[in-house]
Structure 1
Amino acid sequence: MSDPSEAPTDFAPRAGRGVTAATRQRLEALHTRAKACLERGDHDYAHDLLTQCIAEDPGSLIYAQTFRANIAKKYAGGGKKSSMFGSLVGKTGRAAVAKAAGKGAWTEAFTAGCQALKKNPVDLPVLRELATGCGELGHTETQLFYLRWALDLDLHDVETNRLGGEATAKSKQYEQAIACWQRVLKQKPEDEEARRAISRLSVEQTLHEGGYDHELLKGEGATPDLPAIRVSDLASKESDGQPRRPATISAEPAAEESIVPPLSREELEEVVEEEPKNLTAAGQLARILHVAGESTAAIELLRRTLAASPDPESPDPESPEQAKLEEAQLQMTREHVEATQDRAKATRKPAEIKQAKQAMVLSNQAELEVFAARAKRNPASVRDQLELGLRLKRGGNHREAIKALQAARGDARREAEVQLHLGECFQHIEQFKLAASSYEAAIKASATESAHASEETHKLALYRAGVLALGLGDLDRAENRLTELAGHDFGYRDVSDRLDKIADLRKNA
């Protein structure tokens, strides 16, 4: 009898082809063995087992996640990791993967890719080939997973960001797609493909968020390119001295008005100084500063502009321009955090680490201000209340976070998440009964949700409830919740150690 761990050589996944029940059962057994190897430190054997899983089922996100976790654990360990990774840069196994993929031999392609990562765990070209293969087979989740992995290794790699921009755009993740293309543009300021992509995706994002039918708006022909920005759109004033609102974008410029290049940085600075409430000019200038590497100045500019606008006396305090500027501010803060963390990881210099921490503080404060303003404008918006509550919690203001989170309980789809955050906030302020009640509500809500994202929420809620009960001396409840968690995932955090502790406490009682 052949070894059941041996992958069949005649299996070649095809786009749209599913995995049979028998194959799935065999792969799950291999995955379980691989996780056990990972836990005891036998990373090479775990890698081989997971290679078989991925080669036969490249669309499984769980297999890919365990595969990456095994590599991360194998190479964890300070200086040794850094020196080894550094010596591997430039060595790639991409050719073998691309050759097999070109023949449609997907099992061989994914096997070659996994074997290449065993030799060089920072092989960006191989990760890109794996992502491309997943994309061709229609496995969007794993495609994005491999691209995210590659970006974690090098956030500013041009080719990875190109692929990321294309893949996330297809998934209608416009914000992520724009961020990828912006990183391309930052590395290659003259890249016309990146400029066109950002322009196109910004329009598609607006249409998507507004619920517009893109095909109806296009009409008979293709959507024309947007014209260049007019000086008059940004800086001209009407006869009453008030800033003129930008004209509606049209396919062709008006006959009497010529198209000129966008305003320069210096010109925009003058406009912003004269008109501190000019949202359009502030947005343009902030983008220039951000691309130039002056992200802190860009974020501060947007904060000042948003604080000055809109006019508190206005009957309609929210405008599309303001919402767009808020989104730009959030995006810039996230990119700034990513960039500073990337530098800190690469250099390990105290100054870079300090800057990364400062960027996190700045990001949370900017997000807090945006969502506080939105929650104030739209007190009935469950989403805005939840986002505000999360930022307050992250900033350590647990009492105010509780108020916002309680206002966000109206969305049944996010009930488990909200209750879990409430429980953690109550526990921080030592309201243990309320915390326990919230954890139980989170367990109940996540058990009834079908979304994949609720699985982690369910496990964390069980863990929080069990640990809190153990701390309060309620051994029965602690044992029940932690045992239930162990039934889902015995390797979750320190659940097995805590169950052993409960057993010891019962023996010594």
Structure 2
Amino acid sequence: MTSDRNKKIAADCWRRGNEALSKENWDYSIEMFTTAVKLDPEALLYRQTKRGAERKKYGDNNSGSKMGVLKLAGLKTKIKNSRRKKDWASVDQYAEEGLTLNPWDAGLNADMAEACQNQGYDDPAIFGFKMAIENDKANKGYYTNLGELLEEKGEFKQARECWEMAFKLDPMDGEARSKVTALMATETRVRGGYEGAEKSSGVKRQSAYDEGRETREQRHQAQKGGAPDGPGQSVEADLQRLIRKEPENKDHYLKLGDFYRRDGKLTEAKENYEKAYELSGKDTNIGEQVEDIDLEQLKEKLTAAKDEFNRDRKNEEAKKRVTLISKALIKREIEIFTKRVERYPADMRIKFELAQRFIRLKKWAQAITLLQQSVKDTRISSDALVALGKCFYAEGKKELAKRQFEKALPSLSPDEKPDIYKEAHYLIGRLYEESKEKEKAEDHYSEILAVDYDYRDARERLEGL
């Protein structure tokens, strides 16, 4: 949270920057806007004005400084290192520094957006991803990240359009397809001028003046000690009223289910989704929402059970509950993902997720079959190859395991996927150690220690070779 003092100084810097901007003193205006952004990173206006000044400085040439290439390379290395440490404030700072050299750099705009998103600065994050897309319209990740942010803000139409672009860029992406379908349904439910029931035609829109003020009816209801249930006073009551009026309209149940789900009331959400599912003639898309609630409920129960066990590690009953719920969750996940693999046979991500569940149960053969298909998806091929190697290793097929790790490693990076990178090097190192190929084992253990000196027993194994 930005302090009042910093906000005041930031506003003063922004004012000075605007004065310099009007005189076409680009360098000083950018310096002032940069200071304003540092002092108040949540303020979208400061970043927007800074980006505008940067573009004017370079005459809208779409390429920025011709002399800044080397400096940009250094900044991008700093961004990578800071991202690895999850130091998002530094990622933000270095990205903004880079954007003063090239405000059209899609990667830097996305770096800034990611840093803001991780710090809870949603508006600057949305701005950053939009700028990234403006300069690189073929990057699917920018659209999916922007879509998620817009959905969180209730901008369902714009969010859907982002996911549609992601799906257009990658027609095999089942997640994008599902998001488009879900957001279309959400749009339909809120069309009528309200988000959830709060935008219902029967609900009065609040002005800024009305915000936080009680209505006469609300005060009267509060004096009586009851909850407000007149039109426009309660989202839940409005939706229940619509259901009483049109009990066969599935959309009303979906709206109420959505409301309860956002409110964390999963039992009530599931009841309404199930009713909508029956009224829809068992629409599979609605059925999937019921299944998703099942998984959410089991995950909540598992988290609660783990918390109870962690409070008292000697509690055998709590330990037993963790085991039972874990088994129930993985069983339900396998049931659901198996159906979705049948429904979406071209979606390799679902096959990969199902394979991961079989791996947890040590059902290597089932996992291997799914992973051999999953490697065809270039987005997850390295992850699938490492998982496949682990399965072959567990089955004693060491040469096959080695081959999978060798295929995976060239496309793995310690910056982007540190855990998988280290695990792949560790396991292939073990395989070479077992086959007495010491030099190769040393190479792989050394790769691990270069990025994580305390990883498992890699240091002890290297010293023992």
Given the two structures, how large is their TM-score scaled by the length of structure 1?
A: 0.46
Given the two structures, how large is their TM-score scaled by the length of structure 2?
A: 0.49
